[in-house]
Structure 1
Amino acid sequence: MKDFNGLVVPTFDDVLAAHERIAPYIHRTPVLTSSYLNALTGAELFFKCENFQKAGAFKVRGACNAVFGLSEEMAARGVATHSSGNHALSLSYAAGQRGIPCHVVMPRTAPQAKKDAVRGYGGVITECEPSTSSREAVFAEVQAWTGAEFVHPYNDLRVIAGQATCSRELLEQVEGLDAVVAPIGGGGMISGTCLTLSTLAPEMKIYAAEPLNADDAARSFRAGHIIADDAPETVADGLKVPLKELTWHFVSKNVADVLTASEDQIVEAMKLIWKRMKLVMEPSSAVPLACILANRDRFRGQRVGVIVTGGNVDLDSLPWMK
């Protein structure tokens, strides 16, 4: 850990420790390619498939690092969080592996598949309205009566160190990358990517991919300070939350640009990957490809890592069915 004017941030030593700590509880996910998508984009794309991760999402990395880093005394009180889905089910998975309670505040509009997964892993759900303010207010009540350890979905140095292990694996699996593109909501994955690449491959460009309908990170990046939306509407349900001080630290210092894609572009990219790569991914995971397709000139001729963040999609309510 390192102190930046009172803000304590994780270092690459924390990433190495996290990777060792979580190794028994995660998959080393594969990297897949598609000649069709390479031809379509003019780039060589390497998809790091966290949709094959335990609990179906990259967030298991950060959740396991936080849970298994707790002292016995802290663990006995359990853990708690607020999340639209993947962090909720990932923390429930990690807590279940350690045998401790997990309390989760979720928006009532969260995909049913994610709610079912949380309960399947033993998590206890309290629902809230679909806004950041409601999530935080309801969570304060839950934490007050449970006394559980708060594991923030992304503004937590333990979580960021865990997420950074994904890009560490990617660099070991693929040589000579020019850039990495990852989705951005609250910024946990992109911060972990920044932490790893700034240490191991500082010449590599890092792009954050965001829905145009929830473009607070793009506007923050251009303004030079955090701009937070309370309740944006987008098909990419995992990317609705705003940046916080820890993730903003990494985004503002290391990201080359924040790219955006429309709702139609996101759904089309999702359909393309389902059709051509046979990969079950959720809309949030399709945003990087959508942004690459919308910015072909920027990526043409490059070797690009694309982080597929999760595959927890409601099969009864796919976006192209609406």
Structure 2
Amino acid sequence: MVDFKQVSAAADRIAARALRTPVKQSQALNSALGCQVYLKCENEQKSGAFKFRGACNALLQLSPEQRAKGVVTVSSGNHGAALAAACQMLGVPVTVGVAHNASPVKRSNMLRYGANIIAIEPGMEAREAFIAEQLAQNAIVIPPYDHPDIIAGQGSAALELFEEYPHLWGVVTPLGGGGLLSGSCLVAEHYDAFCCGVEPELAADGKQSLEKGEIQPAMPPQSICDGLLTSLGKHTFAIIKEKVTDILLVNDAEAKAAQELVEETTGMWIEPSSATVIAALKRYPDIFKEKHVGVILSGGNCVKS
């Protein structure tokens, strides 16, 4: 299992390439939510999302021979763009399996960094089939979340947050495949802080998995929170099951309202997936009232509708 030392090592490894993103506050947002909110702005990370951290950490641990061969992944957008950006930086060829109905903004972001895109059907079944096919051809696969190097890299966002604000009561992250949450809860535990994940009601397999003690399949991809429509992995779930006590749910309308609230109070336009953490602070005031809470704004790769 990944531990805090691996997160710390990942942070050191990627420091020269990943951005140390700002932590912002807004008194207007604090007033609206009834707590002191510290926004870790991974929407300002390279490629526009926290995913660059894990992708960069994984690539940096490949041998020169492996990098020359190139890597493969599947993605709804942010991991694919992050991996492509890191590959471009390191001179590594990359192929990404992308659902044909993926966000045009995220598809363009992947192409901008030189990814070779292969269209696949939406859903976990098609993703898993694509990866199985690539592995059968001895491809080097860098998965979106379920890998120790990815988890350690994603945790570096929370580590930076707590290094700047060690007094935080806790940290809240979006939950899709669990890379960000699993990495963040390792950091929170080190700082003796609370940590929880947030997912859409229409993609609540993470909460179901935690309650049943085993990974539940992803629900049909129906939520506007496109970055969170996947199931947990064995590596991420092992950490979350041991260290996370609850996963909070929000609906799409709440995520949309939170997206608009963040823009009104900070001027930032973030993804609905990212806005789920703000929606949770609003929906569950009894948990967060008057507390100092760090939230990971996971990405900003979307256009204003």
Contact 1:92/1:123 (<8 A) preserved: yes
- Counterpart CA distance in 2 for 1:66 and 1:79 is 11
- Counterpart CA distance in 1 for 2:263 and 2:34 is 20
**Which residue of 226, 249, 264 corresponds with 2:238?**
249
Runs (5+) with no aligned partner, structure 1: 1-8
| Equivalent residue, structure 2, for 1:220 | 209
1:54-101 residue CA offsets vs partner (Å, 9 max, x unmatched): 010000000000011101121111111111010000000111111010
- Which AA in structure 2 matches 1:29? T
| Equivalent residue, structure 2, for 1:151 | 142
| Equivalent residue, structure 1, for 2:263 | 274
Following superposition, the deviation at residue 230 of structure 1 comes to 4.9
Contact 1:130/1:231 (<8 A) preserved: no
| Equivalent residue, structure 2, for 1:139 | 131
| Equivalent residue, structure 2, for 1:3 | none
- Which AA in structure 1 matches 2:144? P
Matched, 1:303 2:292: yes
1:121-155 residue CA offsets vs partner (Å, 9 max, x unmatched): 1110011111100112123334545x431111110
Matched, 1:193 2:184: yes
- Counterpart CA distance in 2 for 1:251 and 1:14 is 16
Contact 1:59/1:86 (<8 A) preserved: yes
Identity %: 38
2:15 aligned counterpart, secondary structure:
helix
Matched, 1:90 2:82: yes
| Equivalent residue, structure 1, for 2:218 | 229
Contact 1:80/1:143 (<8 A) preserved: no
1:24 aligned counterpart, secondary structure:
coil
- Counterpart CA distance in 2 for 1:157 and 1:87 is 15
- Counterpart CA distance in 2 for 1:49 and 1:241 is 23
Contact 2:50/2:298 (<8 A) preserved: yes
Following superposition, the deviation at residue 17 of structure 1 comes to 2.1
4+ long deviations beyond 6 Å: none
Following superposition, the deviation at residue 15 of structure 1 comes to 1.8
**Which residue of 99, 122, 125 corresponds with 2:91?**
99
How many residue pairs were aligned? 305
- Which AA in structure 2 matches 1:157? P
Contact 2:131/2:141 (<8 A) preserved: no
- Which AA in structure 2 matches 1:256? T
| Equivalent residue, structure 1, for 2:282 | 293
The range that moved more, 130-139 or 100-109, is 130-139
Q: How does 1:1-322 map to 2 (within 5 A)?
A: 9-145=1-137, 147-198=138-189, 200-202=190-192, 204-313=193-302, 315=303, 318=304, 321=305
- Counterpart CA distance in 2 for 1:37 and 1:46 is 10
Contact 1:133/1:230 (<8 A) preserved: no
Runs (5+) with no aligned partner, structure 2: none
